[in-house]
Amino acid sequence: MGKPTGFIEYMRDTPVDRAPLERVGDWREFHENMEDRHLQQQAARCMDCGVPFCHSGTLISGMASGCPVNNLIPEWNDLVYRGLWREALERLHRTNNFPEFTGRVCPAPCEGSCVLGINDPPVTIKNIENSIADRGWEEGWIVPERPKVRTGKKVAVVGSGPAGLAAAAQLNRAGHLVTVLERADRPGGLLMYGIPNMKLDKREVLQRRITQLEMEGVRFICNANVGDNVEAMLLLKDFDAVVLCTGATVPRDLPVEGRELKGVHFAMDYLTASTAALLDGGPDASPIHARGKEVVVIGGGDTGTDCVGTAMRQGCSSLAQLEIMPQPPAERADDNPWPEWPKVYKVDYGQEEAAARFGADPRAYLVTVKRLVGDADGAVKELVTVGIRWERNTSGQLVPVEQPGTERSLPAQLVLLAMGFLGPEQPLAKDLGVECDARSNIKAEHGEFATSVKGVFAAGDCRRGQSLVVWAINEGRGAARECDRFLMGTTELP
């Protein structure tokens, strides 16, 4: 490393976000940038650790440990420290097609497995990655690169989320003619409609990558819902190969009394409506709006946080977030050792904003909903909750057990269900005849990505289940490699 003692000399530092009460007044990204010299100091903290777990990309205890796309993190940290930004970008692009996406929305499992993080705050890998990518765009280093030779092979990619975009980018670079079919009115999938604009700007950040892919030769067809207005079997006839990247879009529901009441929505419907309105004229036009309402978000993951941040910007009058799991500890528990993903308490941007406005973290832990109560017009007006404790049943499984005397009512005119996803929608898989596993995911081995139908591959959440954007990019790249091998007999794709 260029600065072997940097981890001793410099403390961890991150960019200062815009003030919570300021940023809830707009939909712009809330992160500020750091000066180059501060970024170089942060890069200098990267140790000459011998075995850099940060780019291992493995699963430990079911969670990512290290970077799933195997970013060569120590190498580009060293290049940033030495001021070689363009070389750092080239090194970053070798493993990640879209570092400005992961630099904004990835939870950074690389930092969770950083060797320095064993006894000191880890290197600010995510921020440095994002800064390298943004620098590349600002300097004009990122430009369309059309393949020099076309193979004549045609590939259809179904879905334009992170897995689909990564697969399309790689297959196009291999010289194939790639058509991406997207059922929404804009390409981007989860990146476009599932992640709010304040985390990932659609026009400034997402669209420029899509435009780059289009200029490189990738064709996007929107409003193309395969299995509905596009016959699935025609893909097998018209294309030499098909890559399914449809995501895991079936949400987990809340089977309680009152679920049918007006004002109860799935989180993704709410986030999609909000972003669509923002892009099509103004955020106030969203058909699902929190303005002046008491809002309850059920679910404590990233999607729940995005609902909190969105409701804050829409002007909710109060906000509560319910989580069935216990509050994580402030530091790693004994059964959560490094280099596992650290399951520790953190305050994300949405909770920070709610606390700034309403005075406290909006989350309540070890709580579940018993029923929803409506008014005379059939709209939700409150929900009844109960505290729970996790106990093992006779089979040894942990199950929630209601605690007597803990029922309470919460007023709510908007209830958002952010409890995760069960798997991909099934009609397309059935139409193509591809086999699914017991969890309803499309059956295809990781590393091979081939389904039970010859020439059809699957990648991302539709294959692995609900996961991270960075895993989707990993799988999109991997499926492209195996698809290229199927088409050509060999492949040079990584």
User: What's 217's domain CATH number?
Assistant: 3.50.50.60
What pairing do the DSSP bridges indicate for beta strands 318-323 and 363-365? Answer: parallel
Q: What's this model's pTM, rounded to 2 decimal places?
A: 0.96
Q: Please state the domain count of the chain.
A: 3
Statement to judge: residues 222 and 353 lie in one domain: no
Residue 281 buriedness (CB in 10 A; 0-12 / 13-18 / 19+): exposed
Domain termination residue (choose one: 138, 166, 193) = 138
In a domain, residue 147? The reply is: no
Statement to judge: residues 220 and 261 lie in one domain: no
Structure tokens, 377: 């017009």
Q: Which pLDDT value is given to residue 478?
A: 98
Q: What type of residue is 147?
A: P
**What are the C-alpha distances in Å from 405 to residues 370, 378, 385, 386?**
13, 28, 11, 8
Statement to judge: residues 377 and 366 lie in one domain: yes
Q: Whole-angstrom Cα distance, residue 53 to residue 60?
A: 12
CB 383 within 8 A of CB 53: no
Q: Which pLDDT value is given to residue 114?
A: 96
Q: Output b/e per residue, 439-470; b: 16+ Cβ within 10 A.
A: ebbbbbeeeebbbebebbbbbbbbbbbbbbbb
Nearest in space to 226 (alpha carbons), one of 234, 214, 218, 238: 234
Kindly report whether the peptide bond that precedes residue 251 is cis, defined as omega within 30 degrees of 0. Answer: no
Q: Which pLDDT value is given to residue 392?
A: 94
Q: Whole-angstrom Cα distance, residue 129 to residue 134?
A: 9
Statement to judge: residues 228 and 318 lie in one domain: no
Domain termination residue (choose one: 419, 440, 462) = 419
In a domain, residue 346? The reply is: yes
Statement to judge: residues 286 and 402 lie in one domain: yes
Statement to judge: residues 353 and 311 lie in one domain: yes
Helix, strand, coil share of the chain (percent; to 5): 35, 20, 45
> Going by C-beta distance under 8 Å and a sequence separation of 6 or more, which residues neighbour residue 442?
244, 424, 429, 434, 435, 436, 451, 458, 462, 463
CB 45 within 8 A of CB 10: yes
Statement to judge: residues 257 and 369 lie in one domain: yes
CATH of the domain at 36: 1.10.1060.10
User: CA torsion angle for 141, 144, 145, 148 (degrees, to 10)?
Assistant: -150
**What are the C-alpha distances in Å from 5 to residues 42, 75, 85, 315, 349?**
12, 16, 21, 48, 33
**What are the C-alpha distances in Å from 287 to residues 198, 273, 376?**
19, 7, 21
Residue with tokens 């300097």: 139
CB 77 within 8 A of CB 128: yes
DSSP reduced 3-state for 149: coil
Q: Which pLDDT value is given to residue 50?
A: 87
Chunked in runs of 10, what are the mean pLDDT values of the chain (494 residues)? 89 94 97 93 93 92 93 96 98 97 96 95 97 98 97 98 98 98 97 97 97 98 95 96 97 97 98 97 94 97 97 98 97 95 96 98 98 98 98 93 97 98 95 96 97 98 96 98 98 96
- Residue 354: CB atoms within 10 A of its CB come to 29
CB 342 within 8 A of CB 330: no
Domain termination residue (choose one: 112, 138, 164) = 138
Spell out the alpha helix ranges (H) of 51-106: 73-81, 85-93, 99-105
Residue with tokens 């946080």: 305
Q: Which pLDDT value is given to residue 212?
A: 98
Q: Whole-angstrom Cα distance, residue 440 to residue 426?
A: 8
Statement to judge: residues 217 and 239 lie in one domain: yes
Q: Whole-angstrom Cα distance, residue 287 to residue 277?
A: 8
Q: Which pLDDT value is given to residue 2?
A: 73
Q: Whole-angstrom Cα distance, residue 233 to residue 239?
A: 10
Q: Which pLDDT value is given to residue 297?
A: 98
Q: Whole-angstrom Cα distance, residue 139 to residue 36?
A: 14
Statement to judge: residues 236 and 257 lie in one domain: no
Find the domain containing 454 and state its range: 154-249+422-488
Statement to judge: residues 426 and 415 lie in one domain: no
Helices 73-81 and 36-44 pack at an angle, to 10 degrees, of: 130
Statement to judge: residues 131 and 263 lie in one domain: no
Statement to judge: residues 185 and 264 lie in one domain: no
Structure tokens, 145: 């690169």
CB 6 within 8 A of CB 44: yes
Nearest in space to 90 (alpha carbons), one of 79, 105, 101: 79
Instruction: Find the helix or strand (DSSP H, E) in which 110 lies.
Output: helix 109-112
Give 243's strand partners: 157, 457
Q: Output b/e per residue, 109-138; b: 16+ Cβ within 10 A.
A: bbbbbbbbbeeeebbbbbbbbbbbbbbbbe
Q: Whole-angstrom Cα distance, residue 308 to residue 293?
A: 13
Give 469's strand partners: none
